[in-house]
Amino acid sequence: MARFGRLFRDGLTAFAALALLSLLASKMNNRQEIFQSGGFFVIDGDTLSRQGERLRLLGIDAPERDQQCERSGASWACGREARDLLVKLLKDGGVECRGGDHDRYGRLLATCRAGGIDLNREMVRRGMAVSYGAYRAEEAEARAARAGLWAGNFERPADYRRDEQIGRRTASDPFSAIRDAVRRLAGMP
């Protein structure tokens, strides 16, 4: 009889744990989608602003506003050109953005449309942003067509930001470059 009591208690505990996990999973799946429309200001090739709130275009990474790239042996302002393309695409019609998650900087991660065009997809398709977890087919298409960034040499935006951050740290602390090199050699982030 004691064995039956333990089995019953263990079964009940397992059932309660599964029910709790099910409730947590359902709560996570019910996150509210945020919808915004109207006038947006373009910060750079993958960031918009509306009424003081910033939105990051989900699944893409565009050059930073001051980033330079190389094409035909000459430097060009690829970051500004990416921004200018997004400004142009926004003029195609009423802008609508949808998203549910936020990045570590508090920006809404959104997919935006204007004039029936998926802006995220179009930036990658035209070669003015790289895939960042989505739009891999569009990146392959842009690369094959040597469109935008793919017409020359460029540093991926994430690498550019990391190098800029290291440069700022090095300027304020001459030993930071040595620490960063040791970390890389040791395989540490």
Residues acting as catalytic residues: 56, 64, 107
Residue 79 β-bridge partners: none
Structure tokens at 44: 């750079």
Distance, CA of 180 to CA of 119 (rounded, Å)? 37
The closest of 164, 144, 133 to 68, measured between CA atoms, is 164
| Tally: H helices and E strands in the chain | 6, 11
